A and B are shown apart, each in its own frame.
Chain A
């Protein structure tokens, strides 16, 4: 009881803290930071798109707005609503605070489900002593608090970017999948994909979650246990069918359930159809669906906006020759796709962790990353608190995150405002950030063998090469 009370106190404090910060938007000016607002998520661009639409032009005219038309119809009216004497985007900011709260609650509920599944599987493996020790902390509570109190989340929430909504939808889909509510999972997944494209790869963990249920120890552990127990009975020794039968009886070896998956598929196609219909209605006069796909998903895939952000791609495409551009676009996007299959095979018994790894990887390699993405995966990371207890490099990573997040505005200032630095300075921060993110999926030391992401080191190496190329071409580093 005591613990629950403290949890709610902290939640309310975090909300209050946000509300206080919202009152100083002019002073904080976070909406202008490239780390917070990307061309896809900036609320200022959304307001511009809404204005264009109100004056019966295409919201995508002039390459200002690149989000979904649905977001425009929901958030757009809120951007123009002003209360006398209050900050301009107050309504939107309040909405984002609510979104953050809902996300945190969903993470908490997911965490509780995971914990339940975890304790069940431990019990079935007769590891009750381990169970007692691990129940000291509720993973869901911690993950929710980590999400709410993460400075990156707070900055994203206050800095008028639409990332809180995207994060909410992603978490919603995971939550739906964890509880095996196919319509909810499909709804979250379709909308998240519609808003920012990259969550499309989350379909694999979602299907695994629906099929196998939440994270459990690997199958072979169960099989091993069965065989060791069966080893006592000489009649079954070396007898394959016999072994099979006992395992079916003794342990809850979840088979893959096709029913919820099919449900999910049906619901997903329904939601997708529904979203497309709504969008085409909203964009009837302005080029319809094709225009929308070109301006939203096409914009993400072709990396048209090369303004600096905390990712690594803008620099690369600013430097690369035009006739190599298409080639490298394909290379960088396939980079993400390449990692999907091996990771899915390796982690198929832990779909939630798989989802976390996917989110982390896509937030590292996506075209317009922002701190909102890392806020999401750091929050989800809190779900695995029991597994991470033995993490070796936690202190190092913590210092790294602090250092990089402070370094980034400094370098930006040096480059843009003082003029004493140049793009290389800021990009160095982006590289450091990418290297740091490399460690995050790889931290799962305790549970299972180290997950060697074979692609990211090489891709970062490529980028380093690109950087040195840029240095040579620019001639002067300092």
Chain B
């Protein structure tokens, strides 16, 4: 259809009587009313964002094969009593941390072996967080083989047990993870180990198991995420280096638990059990907070806004609520619960819902105020964690290998001090996990039926991608419209200019100018490209600075800033000033309009791409960048307008530029929350460093936008930069 449409529009110039096609007329209408349209769309986008909790649907189990809760639980009180013995053993080990480090894995391994499973130890070093800019492009998640000299003491030891499924072919597995701190075991950790043991020992006896079960007792001495990542890496990417073996031999005497049993527990091999269908990380938290029911908290966010399949959360939620009678929670931002604004919105919505229902009983779209506030707080937390890109627990490590995993945090209603309570609690938790495993065991394929892209507003309600994309789309639509209108205006302006010049002077001098009129934007494109290039350089600079490890955060931050400015000056010298080659018959007004339209187009493309990679980041970015893109105006030109308007535009530009400049925004937030005294430049560095460690997309929101202020003065800001680089960072994260 398009070519003919274009043919129509070209015929237009020859014969003005022909009406353009409707789609062209709509386009012209939108462009001519661009300011009103973009304001409307932007407002509608924000309203739609606020209304999102209203559009949440109830979750449902999409995959029929799962059949949660269709079988009776087999976990008996006998199993639980056995497990309780393990708790007592672990707690009873009155050892120094050095001995406990070896003794607890031995204890667990012994229990595993006694239950009749394969056991091995997995030894690992904590990995230094490293920043490899070029590894975004490479295929391997394993970032080089950097062997550091570790002393034997610095090993941590994961204990892994594998049950081979009697009905399976060993091609698939379910992973259970119980992190514990080997240096100081607390009651909660001991309970989670016992929980896992009770299920594990049950599963060695059952006949229905079709997928192998792996129990990873992760030594969380260096953080639970590190241990799970290390094990997953070694599981998926085998290493065959002789050096490591030698290392293992030397350390064998001191580093490994001595085995009294005849069956030698292997330490040098990693046994495998096929691809992982699902991962369950569970923890027991003894919070001493009185509630009416045992509570289950579900954590799902993995790195860079990835979520596990919704079906996994659904079955856990279903079993917990309908079978075990637990209260299920997902994280929410608690300070939002007291928010006055949300309360007012909720009130309004409830009233509207009531009115609508009184008019027609079938219209049901209002929800109670409490539900709305709760949903909004949960949604905000979900969005915050996805946008930040830092996983909320060790389940995040699984997602990098395309395994769906969640963390279940179970906390009892009262403090666990007597044995009856402990047994009851273990039985309940154990049955929940057994039911989940049984469901996953039924799966014939990978999780694929349900959603991957969603936000939770409560454990049983979600907003799907089809709904939240609308809010985002409304927010971003102003960008292309404004870009198109600016570009068209500039062209019209230009042709007027040329006509006038042609009237006054000889025509032939401007011929060349007319001929290449439609390619004038190339200059603007060059400017935008140079600035984006600079942004990319700035975001890669920390790699260089990692070569000097002894710098303090403050000096790093300062040197980063200095290097950034230096690189800008360098680029300015090399590729010429953005304003060096303004052609003669180009009015400055036109020039900045084309520049702005180019910048807005780039920002629009960047935001669109980012929304596919990490929606939450794009949404928050759009909230910041879209107004910035729309407001930005050269201060030089503003002075011609009235004084009041000048002031308003200047103030808006500067404040938006300030908020958009990440270090400023971060320091401002920190000062606001903790008081001015605690602010230092080094904080920002630390924060940024923590974001690299997770290869977070948000990282690229930072850093290279000091230019924006300068640009505001000249009349354009660069917005898409951060997304662009962000998505590079992100795209190659596996």
A positions within 8 Å CB-CB of B = 24, 26-30, 32, 129, 132-134, 136-137, 386, 389-395, 398-399, 402-403, 406-407, 409-411, 413-414, 417-420, 435, 438-439, 442, 445, 450, 452-453, 457, 476, 478
A442 to B521, CA, bound (A): 21
Residues of B within 8 A of A395 (CB): 487, 518, 521, 597, 601
A410 to B697, CA, bound (A): 13
A419 to B135, CA, bound (A): 20
A389 to B522, CA, bound (A): 12
State the Cβ distance, A159 to closest chain B Cβ, in Å: 11
A393 to B508, CA, bound (A): 26
Known A-B contacts A24-B134, A27-B134, A132-B508; A453 and B727 likewise in contact (beta carbons under 8 Å): no
Residues of A within 8 A of B7 (CB): 450, 452
* Binding stretch for chain A, among B548-556, B558-566, B604-612: B604-612
Q: Judge whether B648 is part of the interface by a CB distance below 8 angstroms.
A: no
Residue of B nearest to A417 (CB): B734
Contact A439 B2 (CB under 8 A): yes
Q: Judge whether B40 is part of the interface by a CB distance below 8 angstroms.
A: no
Residue of B nearest to A400 (CB): B605
Contact B525 A438 (CB under 8 A): no
Q: Judge whether B511 is part of the interface by a CB distance below 8 angstroms.
A: yes
A132 to B306, CA, bound (A): 60
Residue of B nearest to A442 (CB): B3
Contact A450 B6 (CB under 8 A): yes
State the Cβ distance, A346 to closest chain B Cβ, in Å: 14
**How many residues of B are in contact with the other chain, CB < 8 A?**
47
Known A-B contacts A478-B451, A478-B464; A410 and B515 likewise in contact (beta carbons under 8 Å): no
Contact B518 A390 (CB under 8 A): yes
10 interchain pairs (CB within 8 A)?
A: A29-B139, A389-B519, A391-B519, A398-B521, A399-B605, A406-B609, A409-B731, A445-B10, A476-B449, A478-B453
Residues of A within 8 A of B466 (CB): 478
What is the 8 Å Cβ interface bit string for chain B, positions 717-734, against chain A (1 contact, 0 not)? Answer: 000000010010001101
What is the 8 Å Cβ interface bit string for chain B, positions 511-541, against chain A (1 contact, 0 not)? Answer: 1100111110100010000000000000000
Q: Judge whether B1 is part of the interface by a CB distance below 8 angstroms.
A: yes
Known A-B contacts A390-B518, A402-B605; A478 and B452 likewise in contact (beta carbons under 8 Å): yes
Contact B601 A399 (CB under 8 A): yes
Chain A interface main SS type: helix
Residues of B within 8 A of A413 (CB): 731-732
State the Cβ distance, B144 to closest chain A Cβ, in Å: 11
Contact B515 A419 (CB under 8 A): no
Residues of A within 8 A of B451 (CB): 478
Q: Judge whether B669 is part of the interface by a CB distance below 8 angstroms.
A: no
Residues of A within 8 A of B732 (CB): 413
Contact A478 B465 (CB under 8 A): yes
A279 to B567, CA, bound (A): 54
Residue of A nearest to B732 (CB): A413
Partner of A476 from the list B137, B448, B605 (CB cut-off 8 Å) is B448
The 3 closest A-B pairs by CB, nearest first: A133-B511, A420-B452, A27-B134
Residues of A within 8 A of B453 (CB): 420, 478
- B1-16: which have CB < 8 Å to A? 1-4, 6-7, 10
Q: Judge whether B613 is part of the interface by a CB distance below 8 angstroms.
A: yes
Contact B4 A452 (CB under 8 A): yes
Residues of A within 8 A of B646 (CB): none
Residues of B within 8 A of A390 (CB): 515, 517-518
17 more A-B residue pairs beyond the given contacts A29-B139, A133-B512, A391-B518, with a C-beta to C-beta distance below 8 A:
A28-B134, A29-B137, A129-B511, A133-B515, A137-B516, A390-B518, A398-B525, A403-B609, A406-B605, A418-B306, A420-B453, A439-B3, A445-B6, A450-B7, A450-B10, A457-B1, A457-B4
State the Cβ distance, B589 to closest chain A Cβ, in Å: 18
Known A-B contacts A28-B137, A29-B137, A29-B138; A406 and B727 likewise in contact (beta carbons under 8 Å): yes
State the Cβ distance, B447 to closest chain A Cβ, in Å: 9
Contact B515 A394 (CB under 8 A): no
Contact B3 A129 (CB under 8 A): no
Contact B402 A418 (CB under 8 A): yes
Residue of B nearest to A409 (CB): B731
Residue of B nearest to A403 (CB): B605
What is the 8 Å Cβ interface bit string for chain B, positions 435-455, against chain A (1 contact, 0 not)? Answer: 000000000001011011100
Residues of B within 8 A of A453 (CB): 3
What is the 8 Å Cβ interface bit string for chain B, positions 454-474, against chain A (1 contact, 0 not)? Answer: 000000000011100000000
A476 to B452, CA, bound (A): 11
Residues of A within 8 A of B306 (CB): 418, 420
State the Cβ distance, B468 to closest chain A Cβ, in Å: 12
Residue of B nearest to A30 (CB): B137
State the Cβ distance, B12 to closest chain A Cβ, in Å: 11
Residue of A nearest to B507 (CB): A129
What is the 8 Å Cβ interface bit string for chain B, positions 199-223, against chain A (1 contact, 0 not)? Answer: 0000000000000000000000000
Residues of B within 8 A of A393 (CB): 6
Residue of A nearest to B446 (CB): A419
A95 to B28, CA, bound (A): 50
Contact A450 B3 (CB under 8 A): yes
State the Cβ distance, A433 to closest chain B Cβ, in Å: 14
State the Cβ distance, B360 to closest chain A Cβ, in Å: 32
State the Cβ distance, A8 to closest chain B Cβ, in Å: 18
Contact A129 B508 (CB under 8 A): yes
State the Cβ distance, A89 to closest chain B Cβ, in Å: 16
A453 to B512, CA, bound (A): 30
Contact A457 B3 (CB under 8 A): yes
A386 to B446, CA, bound (A): 56
A391 to B466, CA, bound (A): 37
Contact A435 B2 (CB under 8 A): yes
Contact A32 B139 (CB under 8 A): yes
Known A-B contacts A442-B3, A476-B449; A394 and B521 likewise in contact (beta carbons under 8 Å): yes
Residues of B within 8 A of A27 (CB): 134-135, 137-138
Residues of A within 8 A of B4 (CB): 452, 457
State the Cβ distance, B156 to closest chain A Cβ, in Å: 29
Contact A438 B448 (CB under 8 A): no
State the Cβ distance, B75 to closest chain A Cβ, in Å: 32
Residue of B nearest to A412 (CB): B731
A413 to B561, CA, bound (A): 33
Residues of B within 8 A of A450 (CB): 3, 6-7, 10
A38 to B609, CA, bound (A): 25
Residue of B nearest to A134 (CB): B515
State the Cβ distance, B34 to closest chain A Cβ, in Å: 16
Contact A26 B10 (CB under 8 A): no
A411 to B608, CA, bound (A): 12
State the Cβ distance, A157 to closest chain B Cβ, in Å: 16
- B381-419: which have CB < 8 Å to A? 402
Contact A419 B601 (CB under 8 A): no
Residues of B within 8 A of A414 (CB): 612-613
Residues of B within 8 A of A420 (CB): 306, 452-453
